[in-house]
Amino acid sequence: MAALPRLVCASSVVLVVWAGFCSAVCVEVPSETEAVQGTHMKLLCISCMKREEVTASTVVEWFYRPEGGKDEPIYEHRKTNHEFPSRFSGRLQWNGSKDMQDVSITVLNVTLNDSGIYTCNITREFEFEIHRPLFTSSRLIHLTVVEEAGEDFTSVISEIMMYILLVFLTLWLLIEMVYCYRKVSKAEEAAQENATDYLAIPSENKENCAVPVEE
């Protein structure tokens, strides 16, 4: 009977591990919100589906709203890609995945006028045998376009910490070298004093200092 609780615990662990492996690997992460003029900017829009929800038809709509303006359609994916006439004409590229969990687009050759709010609308119609439920979700991206890339605060802190560590290691090495030099010098002085004291002893005393040999 004592083996039964152990078996139950082992089974629970296996089930937890199996559930971890079977869970969806899709992770919904926010998009970057700052772009540099003249570069390509990927507007990240990820909408994860569970494994049992993969069979679905997905429609993706992208909208752009300038500061103080209204939403205007700029891109649509409905089985095929469609780009609406706008300030982005010829500068939008589809970057979605085949399973339609990543429905991102890329803005090519970003300009300062591209700053604003981008909306990613996802509509999914799931194909079940009995019914076809419809689910919608939205993602908002507040994009700011700058003329030049600003230095990342994290990289600045990393550089400062690197220089501090370098200075600390240099000082520690100098201290160790001075300590070792003084230790060696004292050892040499002690050896020299012992040699001087030995030479100062008369020859007859040196013979008396010899250790007698027992027969």
Convert the pLDDT of each residue in 127-177 to its tens digit: 777 778 888 999 999 999 998 876 655 667 777 888 898 898 899 888 988
What is the predicted pLDDT for the residue at 28? 82
What is the predicted pLDDT for the residue at 126? 83
Average pLDDT of the chain to the nearest whole number: 79
What is the predicted pLDDT for the residue at 175? 92
Phi and psi torsions of 180, nearest 5°: -65, -40
Q: Please check the confidence at residue 7 and state whether its pLDDT lies above 50.
A: no
Q: How far apart are alpha carbons 155 and 136 in whole angstroms?
A: 39
Name the least confident of 126-130, 181-185, 211-215: 211-215
Phi and psi torsions of 212, nearest 5°: -65, 145
Q: Please check the confidence at residue 204 and state whether its pLDDT lies above 60.
A: no
Q: How far apart are alpha carbons 51 and 131 in whole angstroms?
A: 18
Q: Please check the confidence at residue 64 and state whether its pLDDT lies above 90.
A: yes
Phi and psi torsions of 177, nearest 5°: -65, -45
Q: Give me the CATH code for the 27-147 domain, please.
A: 2.60.40.10
Q: Per-residue pLDDT averaged across 16-38, rounded?
A: 67
What is the predicted pLDDT for the residue at 154? 67
Q: Please check the confidence at residue 15 and state whether its pLDDT lies above 50.
A: no
| Top-confidence residue, 181 or 193 | 181
Split at pLDDT 50, 70, 90, the class of 3 is very low
Burial 44-80 (b: 16+ CB within 10 A, else e): bbbbebeeeeeebebbbbbbbeeeeeeeebbbbbeee
Global model pTM greater than 0.75: no
Q: How far apart are alpha carbons 120 and 112 in whole angstroms?
A: 21
Phi and psi torsions of 39, nearest 5°: -105, 180
State percent of the chain over pLDDT 90: 39
The domain segmentation of the chain, as residue ranges, is 27-147, 150-178
